[in-house]
Structure 1
Amino acid sequence: MEIEKLLQAVQNGDVPAFLDVLQRDPLVLDRIIVLGVSETPLHAASVLGHTNLVQELLRRAPKLASELDSRGNTPLHLAAAKGHVEIVTLLLSADPAAASARNLDGRAPIHVAAIKGRVDAVGRIVVGAGGARSAREVTDRGETALHLAVANGKLEVVRAVVGAVGERDGAELLNWKDCDGNSILHIAVAKKQIETIKFLLAIPGVNVNPINKNGSTPLDVLKQSPRDLQDMEIEDSLLNERALRSKSIYPFDHDPDQMQIPQVSREAPTSPLLVMREIPLKNKPPARKRANEISHHRSSLMVVASLIATVAFQAAITPPGGVWQSDYTVDDNGKPVKEPHFAGTSIMAHNQRKEYGLFFIFNTMAFLSSLSIILLLVSGLPIKRRRWMWVQMVTMWIAMTAQVITYFIALRHMTLDKTDSDVFPVLKKVTETAVLAWFCLMGVVFIGNLGRVCVYYLRKKGYIKKKKKREEEARALPDDVGEDEEV
């Protein structure tokens, strides 16, 4: 009976009622510990945020801080999950070992706080329970609080932990791998969390080329994931920090568990051997250079295609001259008119049907061509070779040309009447000259790219030899590096 009254007082946060129960039965808390109640009063007070009541409970029965509920949670688990920072502090003071206690899910209090994004609670646990040691607590799957925070999109938790333990210990935590060999960077790339990726790459000690048990680096994870608009920015961020694919690090088959992952140094090399290894990275090997060029082309195509699609869509719903605002089917005498029109239909389609037909055709070509490019870029298909980029560029030329023709058709429709003998001939001449100049420019671009294609295939067939730059690179190397290379 007294236990029920005690639990009722705790649930209501009524400290006087709680003290009254203890005065009538001073051993009620000890009986709760002995009986093994699934949820102690301290559990209830911690999850409800009754700070004063928690303080009274810990003062009279500090052993309650280590008791577990039916799910294996300590009161610290519940307080951390709810973000009650003051209660977390009280519980850590009463039982520091509770910071390492794991529930039935294999999670410590810092893990549940990280999942919920309780930044202050995570920081208080790290500071009050041994600093980096508490941040190194792992789940049954080898996940740290940072793994769980990134998996749930809680960047502020990552910032809080790194800030609490310092960059040196923080880098060690960020490079920690779970049971699948995934680091924090693997998870952030898989989740397409751009801000988290940029934050991680800004920390000097973070390894940008860790390999998981599938033999994949973060760049491999990005390439294997479904494509979307964020991939280009993520790829550029990784490549700027010298991220590599696993096949570039280990060209032959290796056991991922036995791989020694090279840590990419972000400081200037000092030894001649490091200088020699640094030069190809600075000058970018041909494969890396081509990959970067294609990545930039993809980004440019996406931006231009989006703009053309937007303009074409707007031109379709608001054609030149606008649309009729009301129906006109009968005259003032109630007789049917010869050329009726209806609200919402194009005025240009009614007055200039031939010109509107051309406008409709070329505007549709521009819209569908630009959408085709966007669809190819986000489809996730392996279309990163140069030949596919040329196909997309030709499609872009078609879209731009169609958009130019649409523009001149609309411009001529909205000008003065053709019967104006002074203005219309000049306008017609200017329009024809501009269109001719545009097609000449497109011809020059087409011929230039056609020449590139021809040179590419001639080199591929062996009719044209590639220029060898090895001698030039050897001259650029210092003398001592050249001697080391010969040795």
Structure 2
Amino acid sequence: MQKLSIATSEGDVSALYRVISNNPDLLECIDQKPFNHTPLHIAAETAHTHFALEIMSLKPSLGRVLSHDGFSPLDLGRERITPLHYAAEVEEIDFLAEFLRKCPASIEDVTLCCETAAHIAMKNGKLRAFKVLFGWLKRTNRKEILNWGDEDGNTVLHVTASTNQTEVAKLLVKYVNVNAKNHEGLTALDISNTKPPIQVNARMKKILLRAGASKASRLHQLPTLAEMLGSPEALIEKIFQINAYLDEGLSGEMRNSMLVAAILIATSAYQSVLSPPAPWPPQINQRWSLEKW
């Protein structure tokens, strides 16, 4: 164990394999303990990423072992950069695919800057790595991750527009919200318009426009959550409250029938406000007046 500790602290991959050759069951023994500060924890703490990748390839289950403080090795990476993030950054596509297979939940991991592995691949221009991640997200039905924003609210499409990667844009526009705004209120088309007028940028704009992308200034301005909570309760909110109430203790058929009735009543009330009934004809008003007296 002492030789393994030295190899780990130095990030020496060659020394790691020498230790394992002398004791082939070493990593298996470490994995058997429910709580353990493993070499993978140490490699993550000391930012020996290559060393961490080697251990993960040899024993992927060590990535789930918790330390005595309850932290997994992935929780301890510098700036929360996991082996998956690193593999995307350096385009180690075989390891990337294998890591996803052995640890599928890692696709949800984000760095301290809220970057997914797809963000990192695009920011570093790693097309092959992105295609591996994109293929995994499609096949596992996790395409919503492509709409996640980083700390600046930029989705992968924002990054793609910023770096003029048209091949990726063609893949993305079918699966993402092309009019998502970042924290500056900019869409991918806005970002594309800020770039120098070069030919590749013109192609990017064409791809975005064909997919229905718009400038932020032309989009309907929806109220923020704070604005909505500070305003009078809207009719549609009341309908959803009724729906939630009806969810409890009623069959699906009864709930749907009562919800339809509630919507019809609410709609009728709403229409009556917009279009009040016409006044009675003069002759009716006159007859009513005579009969009253």
TM-score (normalised: structure 2) = 0.63
2:27 pairs with one of 58, 71, 86 = 58
- In the alignment, is residue 212 of structure 1 matched against residue 182 of structure 2? yes
User: Offset at 1:214?
Assistant: 0.5
- In the alignment, is residue 122 of structure 1 matched against residue 96 of structure 2? yes
User: Offset at 1:66?
Assistant: 3.1
Letter in structure 1 aligned against 2:12 = A
User: Offset at 1:95?
Assistant: 3.9
Change in Cα spacing, 1:135 to 1:122, as seen in structure 2 (3 Å) is same
Q: Distance in 1 between matches of 2:227 and 2:100?
A: 32
Task: For residue 211 of structure 1, give the secondary structure of its aligned residue in structure 2.
Answer: coil
User: Offset at 1:31?
Assistant: 8.0
1:214-363 correspondence runs (5 A): 214-250=184-220
User: Offset at 1:103?
Assistant: 1.9
Instruction: Kindly tell me the number of residue pairs found equivalent between the two proteins.
Output: 218
Q: Distance in 2 between matches of 1:221 and 1:40?
A: 44
2:149 pairs with one of 177, 183, 188 = 177
Q: Distance in 2 between matches of 1:158 and 1:224?
A: 24
Task: For residue 157 of structure 1, give the secondary structure of its aligned residue in structure 2.
Answer: helix
User: Offset at 1:78?
Assistant: 1.8
CA contact (8 A) 1:115 1:154 kept: yes
Aligned to 2:41: 67
Q: Distance in 2 between matches of 1:162 and 1:146?
A: 8
User: Offset at 1:226?
Assistant: 2.2
Q: Deviations over 1:153-189 (max 9, x none)?
A: 1122222123224356442111111110000000011
Q: Deviations over 1:232-281 (max 9, x none)?
A: 111111111111110111369x769989xxxxxxxxxxxxxxxxxxxxxx
TM-score (normalised: structure 1) = 0.39
Aligned to 1:141: 113
Task: For residue 105 of structure 1, give the secondary structure of its aligned residue in structure 2.
Answer: helix
Q: Deviations over 1:442-476 (max 9, x none)?
A: xxxxxxxxxxxxxxxxxxxxxxxxxxxxxxxxxxx
Change in Cα spacing, 1:38 to 1:44, as seen in structure 2 (3 Å) is closer
Letter in structure 2 aligned against 1:240 = R
Q: Percent identity?
A: 25
CA contact (8 A) 2:114 2:150 kept: yes
Letter in structure 1 aligned against 2:149 = K
1:370-409 correspondence runs (5 A): none
CA contact (8 A) 2:100 2:106 kept: yes
Q: Distance in 1 between matches of 2:139 and 2:121?
A: 18
Q: Distance in 2 between matches of 1:247 and 1:222?
A: 14
Aligned to 2:134: 162
Give the stretch that moved more between structures: 154-163 or 135-144.
154-163
Aligned to 1:89: 57
Which structure would you say has the larger RCO, counting Cα contacts within 8 Å and 6 or more residues apart?
Answer: 2
Aligned to 1:198: 170
1:44 pairs with one of 4, 12, 16 = 12
User: Offset at 1:102?
Assistant: 3.5
Change in Cα spacing, 1:88 to 1:70, as seen in structure 2 (3 Å) is closer
Aligned to 1:106: 80
User: Offset at 1:51?
Assistant: 11
Task: For residue 177 of structure 1, give the secondary structure of its aligned residue in structure 2.
Answer: coil
Q: Distance in 2 between matches of 1:256 and 1:134?
A: 30
CA contact (8 A) 2:91 2:129 kept: yes
Larger Rg, first or second structure (1 or 2): 1
User: Offset at 1:205?
Assistant: 2.9
Q: Deviations over 1:358-392 (max 9, x none)?
A: xxxxxxxxxxxxxxxxxxxxxxxxxxxxxxxxxxx
CA RMSD of aligned residues (A): 3.5
Q: Distance in 2 between matches of 1:191 and 1:179?
A: 18
